[in-house]
Amino acid sequence: MGLLKEKDREKVKKVFEEIEKDVKIVMFTQETECQQCEMTRKLLEEISGLSDKLSLEVHDFVSEAGLAKNYGVDKIPAIVLIGERDYGLHFYGLPSGFEINVLIGDIIDVGKRNPELSKEVTAELAKVDRPVHIQVLVSPT
């Protein structure tokens, strides 16, 4: 039995039909996995299997520290979504509860290569000319 319920897997498979381009899901864990890392990895394995446009790469945070640094990953479990480039989009921790929807939604946005922001917001963001690091702390509900 997977982590997702059968009917949820079906739902996700259906919405993944909107994905147009390849999405690479990169995950960082470590050899002696803590529960969160193991769960996250299993979840990603399940999710990436629901669309042939998704691929999953699992890396070790400790032995591949250089790679982790390149992706800007500083804690685990970490999920990075890559489209035609690294957007700097990271998920830290197991996205359970409602958060799973954010991960799925972001995978779709990356897969459509379109974050679906309004013209106004896009215009505002174009004014950003230096590094901005946003961290959104959430808790699984």
Partner 1 sequence: MASDHITADMVEGSEFPFLVVKYNVSGVPHSVINEKHSIVGAQSDLEFASAILKAIGK
Partner 2 sequence: MHMGGKTMDFPEFSLDSSFLENAKRLEPDGRYDLLIVGGGPAAMSAAVYAARKMMNVAIITKDFGGQVRETSEIANWLGFQSINAKDLVDMFEEHVKSFDIPLSLGTAITEVKREKDTFKVLTDDGKIYSSQTLILATGKRHSPLNVPGEKELVGKGVAYCATCDAPFFKGKKVVVAGGGNSAFTTAMDLLKVEAQVSLINFIKGWQADAALQEKVKEINKVKFLDYHRVVRIEGKERVMGVVVKDRETEKEERLDTDGVFVEIGLLPNSESFKNLVKLSEQGEVIVDCSCRTNVEGLFGAGDVTTVPHKQIVIAAGEGAKAALSAYNYIINKSLI
Residues of this chain that bind partner 1 (CB under 8 A): 36, 72, 75, 83, 87-96, 99, 102-103, 109-110, 114-115, 117-118, 120-122, 124-140
Burial 80-101 (b: 16+ CB within 10 A, else e): bbbbeeeeebbbbbbbeeebbe
Q: Is 35 in the site for partner 2 (CB under 8 A)?
A: yes
- Name the token pair of 76: 């685990």
Rounded Cα distance, 41 and 89, in Å: 17
Shortest separation between residue 133's beta carbon and partner 1, angstroms: 5
Residue 26 CB partners (closer than 8 Å, separation 6+): 56, 57, 59, 71, 79, 80, 81, 82
> Any idea which residue has 């250089």 for tokens?
66
108, interface contact from partner 2, partner 1, none, CB < 5-8 Å by kind: partner 2
The one-letter code for the residue type at 100 is I
Given partner 2, partner 1, none, residue 100, with its beta carbon under 5 to 8 Å by kind, binds partner 2
Q: How far is the CB of 44 from partner 1 (least distance, A)?
A: 14
Minimum Å gap between C-beta 92 and partner 1 is 5
**Stretch of 23-31, 56-64, 90-98, 125-133 lying at the interface with partner 2 (CB under 8 A):** 90-98
96 near partner 2 (CB under 8 A): yes
